[in-house]
Chain A
Amino acid sequence: MSRGFRDRAAAAVMGAIALSCLLLAFGIAVALVLKSRPILATTPIGRLLFSSSWRPSRGDFGFYPFIIGTLWVSGLAMAFAIPICLLGAIYLSEYANSRLRAAAKPLLDMLAGIPPVVFGLWGVLGIVPLVSKLGTRLGSFTTGYSVLAGGIVLAVMVFPIIVSVTEEVLRKVPQEVREASLSLGATRWQTTKHVVLKAAFPGVFAAIILGFSRAFGETMAVLMVVGNVAIIPKSVLDPAYPLPALIANNFGEMMSVPLYDSALMFAALLLLAVVLVFNVLATLVLHAVERRIA
C-alpha cells in the first residue's frame, strides 16, 4: 500500500464521514416528519397549533397552551438576558482591560458548562421560594413554580452564549472605525453607541436569536421550576407547560394511548422547526458579517 494510496483512501473515508453527518442531519428531520404523519392525518394542523383542548385519551391534541407557555418563558428569559448580556458584553469588549477579559472567559465557560439539571436544582432551591414570597407580597398566591421562575433560570442559562457571541462580534469591528470617531472628539460611550453597535448590529441580532433558540429548546431546568400545568398563563406568576417539558413528562404514557406518541413526535418536530429556522438565520447573518469584514 503506497503512501499516496493511503492518503487518497483516508481522504475518501473522511469525505464519507462528512457526507454521513450531512445525511444524519437530514435523517433526523425526516424521521420526525414520518412519525408525525399519523397525527397530522387525523387532525388538521390548524387545530393542533391553535386548539387549547388537551385530552389525549379522547384524541384531542391541542398544543396551543404549550406553545404559548414556551413563548412566555423564553420571552421572559430574553427580556432579562438581553439587557444584562449586551451591557456586559459591551463593557468587556470596549472598556475592560485584558486582565478582566481574561478573567471573564473562564467564568462564562463555567456557567456554560453547568448541567441543566443543576440549574433546575438551583431554581427549586433558590428561585421558586423567592417567587412564592414575591407573590405573597403582591397579594396573589403562587407556589413559586411559575413562568417567572422559569424565565429567571433560563435567563441565567443563556447568559454565556449571548455574552460570548456578542463580545466576539463587537471585537470584530475594526479598531480604525473607533479611532475615527474618537479623533473627532466623541466619548467612548458615544463611539460605542453610534458607531460600534451600529456596525455590529446584525451580529448582535444573531446572538440574540441564538440565545432565544437555546432558551426555546431547554428542557430539564425549566421542567423543574415552571409548574407543568397546561394552562395559558395570564401573568408571570402563573405556572405554564412549555413544549419540551411536555415531551419529557409524557413519554412514559406515550405507548398506552393511541396517537400519543405521534403527537409528541409532532411536538418535537415543531421544536426542531423553530430552532432550525432561528439557527440557520443566525448562522447566515454571522457568516455575512464575517464576509463583510474580510
Chain B
Amino acid sequence: MPHISIRNLNVTYDGHPALRDVSVDLPDGQITVIIGPSGCGKTTLLRCCNRLIDLTEGARVSGSVLIDGANILDPSADLLALRKKTGYLAQKPYPLPMSIYDNVAYGPRLHGMRDRRQLDQIVERCLRASSLWEEVRARLRKPAAKLSVGQQQRLCLARALAVEPEVLLGDEATSALDPLSAQLVEKRLIELRGRYTIVLVTHILRQARRLADYVLFLYLGELVEHGPAAEVFANPRDARTQAYLAGEVS
C-alpha cells in the first residue's frame, strides 16, 4: 500500500497554475526525489504534503493527497496530527530561538510530553540519529543560533525526528550547506530510509542519482514522468526528461 497517494492535485497561485493535475503514488519506506527545472512546482508539491501550502497567500488547492488512506487536504482533517506525521526540512535551517536541547524537545513538548527523563532520551536519540550528538552533547543548553549552518541543518533534522514522523520532507535540504555537511546529511537520510518514507526536492541531479529510489520529474507544473530511479535515469521515456537529464534544460 503506497504511503502517499496524490490524486488530481491542482494548485494555482493567484490564478497562475503551479501544479496541473498531478497523480502519483509515492512508495512506502523509500526515498522519492522530485526533480525538474526551477519554477516547475517541486516545492509546491512538497508543501502540499504537510499542508504548509496553506500558509502561502493566494494559493488554491484542489484534488487529494492521501496519507495512509486519509485525504489530508480535506478541511476537516486533523492538521496538527498530520504535521506530526510529516517532518520538514527547509533549504535554509531555521533553529528556533532557544537552546539546542529545547529545539529538539520543542515538538514532543507541544504534543504533551512532560517527563524529564523521556525528553532527555528523545533528545539524545534524535541528535545521534542526525549525527550531531557528539558535537553538542557538552553544550545542550547553549543557544542553537551559535551553531554553524551545517550543524543547524542537522539540528533541524533532529528536531523533525523528535516528533516521530512517518514521512520526511526535504526542500533542497543540503543546498545551503558546505560539501562536508551536505554529505553528512545525505548519509543520515540514506540510513533513515526504510523506517521513514522520504520525499526530497533537489535541483542537483547528482544528488538525485545518489539518493533516489523513486523519481518524479516535474516540468512546468506537469508530472511528466515517474518511476523507479534506475529506470528513469537509465531510460527516460519522455523527450523532456531526456533533455533535462542531459543537462540541456535547467
Chains A and B directly touch (beta carbon < 8 Å): yes
Interface of A toward B, CB cutoff 8 Å: 3-4
Q: What residues of chain B lie closer than 8 Å to A3, measured between beta carbons?
A: 80, 110
Please list the 3 inter-chain residue pairs (A to B) with the smallest Cβ-Cβ separation, ordered nearest first: A3-B80, A4-B80, A3-B110
Q: What residues of chain B lie closer than 8 Å to A4, measured between beta carbons?
A: 80
How many Å from the CB of A10 to the closest CB on chain B?
15
How many Å from the CB of A289 to the closest CB on chain B?
22
Interface of B toward A, CB cutoff 8 Å: 80, 110
A3 to B83, CA, bound (A): 14
Q: What residues of chain A lie closer than 8 Å to B110, measured between beta carbons?
A: 3
Chain B's interface: helix, strand, loop or mixed, by majority?
Answer: helix
A109 to B110, CA, bound (A): 40
3 contacts between A and B (CB under 8 A): A3-B80, A3-B110, A4-B80
How many Å from the CB of A29 to the closest CB on chain B?
33
A259 to B102, CA, bound (A): 64
User: Which residue on B lies nearest to A4, using beta carbons?
Assistant: B80
User: Which residue on B lies nearest to A2, using beta carbons?
Assistant: B80
How many Å from the CB of A291 to the closest CB on chain B?
15
A275 to B110, CA, bound (A): 47
How many Å from the CB of A6 to the closest CB on chain B?
11
How many Å from the CB of B72 to the closest CB on chain A?
16
How many Å from the CB of A43 to the closest CB on chain B?
53
A3 to B110, CA, bound (A): 9
User: Which residue on B lies nearest to A3, using beta carbons?
Assistant: B80
A240 to B80, CA, bound (A): 65
A4 to B80, CA, bound (A): 8
How many Å from the CB of A232 to the closest CB on chain B?
56
Q: What residues of chain A lie closer than 8 Å to B80, measured between beta carbons?
A: 3-4
A4 to B81, CA, bound (A): 11
How many Å from the CB of A2 to the closest CB on chain B?
9
A4 to B110, CA, bound (A): 12
How many Å from the CB of B201 to the closest CB on chain A?
28
How many Å from the CB of B167 to the closest CB on chain A?
21
How many Å from the CB of A34 to the closest CB on chain B?
42
A3 to B81, CA, bound (A): 11
How many Å from the CB of A175 to the closest CB on chain B?
25
A3 to B78, CA, bound (A): 11
How many Å from the CB of B113 to the closest CB on chain A?
13
User: Which residue on B lies nearest to A7, using beta carbons?
Assistant: B80
User: Which residue on A lies nearest to B78, using beta carbons?
Assistant: A4
A4 to B82, CA, bound (A): 13
How many Å from the CB of A59 to the closest CB on chain B?
59
How many Å from the CB of B199 to the closest CB on chain A?
26
A15 to B71, CA, bound (A): 31
User: Which residue on A lies nearest to B110, using beta carbons?
Assistant: A3
How many Å from the CB of A225 to the closest CB on chain B?
48
How many Å from the CB of B82 to the closest CB on chain A?
12
A82 to B74, CA, bound (A): 58
User: Which residue on A lies nearest to B111, using beta carbons?
Assistant: A3
A4 to B83, CA, bound (A): 13
A40 to B156, CA, bound (A): 67
A3 to B80, CA, bound (A): 9
A24 to B110, CA, bound (A): 36
How many Å from the CB of A1 to the closest CB on chain B?
13
A4 to B79, CA, bound (A): 9
How many Å from the CB of B230 to the closest CB on chain A?
44
A4 to B77, CA, bound (A): 12
How many Å from the CB of B62 to the closest CB on chain A?
24
